[in-house]
Chain A
Amino acid sequence: MNKCPEQIVHYMHEYLDGDISGEHEQELKTHLASCPSCQQHMHELSKVAAFVQSASHISAPNGFVEGVTARLPKETSKVGMKRWFHSHPLLTAAALFMILMSASLFSSFNEDQHFSFTKQPNLVVEGEKVIVPAGEIVIGDLVVKNGDLQIDGEVDGNVTVINGQYMASTANVTGEIEEINQVFDWLWYKIKAGAKDVASLVDGKEDK
């Protein structure tokens, strides 16, 4: 076999892959006709293919599909709603409109005109203005309605000012700061506080 042209084995594989050119095939056949050792090689390679193909066709075991189904991630209701939201934009807009126009939300905005704030120990109140004095730390969320908020100290929580002004450097508040002055913002706030799921839906779609 040592005097055989090097490409002959390569041609054997081309032949077995079914992509041999006429020229190569002719050369291969001519060589095989005169070379017993390459004939043997070719025979063994053909046997390999037949051998591997003799493997019986097996099927997936019983209960395979159920096994897959059991392993699928469970959809959270939120994912389901989001998907629904994406595939039904019109219905969602209609639903959103219903929520926004709901009479109870409007009336609660109108009734809620008096000055109020979250009771926290170290707050100072001047008229309709709540002050977090310098050096004081308020722990927890702080909501001020129909009044102003001035932060000279620190707030370790979220700050929300509804229908009022907020004065502070952001660095003094660890949580989120929100100012709500419009009816729309107010509704928004109500929705978020009320129905977290709906809010997160709206959040995804209404991003500007």
Chain B
Amino acid sequence: MQGKTAASRNLASCHICLKLADASLHECPRCGEPLHLRKSNSLQRTLALLVTACVLYIPANILPIMVTDQFGNSTDSTILGGVVLLIDMGSVPIAAIIFIASVMVPLGKLIALFYVCWSVGTGRTTDPRQRTVLYRAAELIGKWSMVDVFVVSILVALVHLTGLLVILPGAAAVAFAGVVIVTIVAAESFDPRMIWDQQDVINE
């Protein structure tokens, strides 16, 4: 026995306070947030943000995330270079954390969000539950990719005061922070209810 959706009764659910209100209202009667049956232009906005994140991902990996200056010799290190260096130093678990947080999480998140957008755009009706879980997982793990940016900031502050060695944040740190922020906003602008709309229309 399948229940009814809010949209089928022309009710809009507020994403801030979960109040159900007549979809013709422009504002939530309880909290004042703009009210929509579905997030407006969700697919186009999410895709535009995902493309932006992909573009930012290129300098984030090519440019140095950290510049180390010791007795006049400066060494640049990229995100992947940092991972290789950690493996050479024998810190495999830490290398794994950085690799997962800086490479697998952002790429996995981009792929997952592109996939759910594509599945909604082409009107797929199979396994909606798996796609919803995938979307929610992508939303949840997003901020963990900030780890490397934080590591760079801590190293900069920590090492600076000794004067022996200088560590400077590289341009990739800004680009990478941009990737993380843009993908978080992209995940927020995607409306997972679109995954179910196709089959709800069929069932009616």
The answer to whether A and B belong to the same complex is no
Give residues in A with beta carbon < 8 Å to B. Answer: none
Residues of B within 8 A of A (CB): none
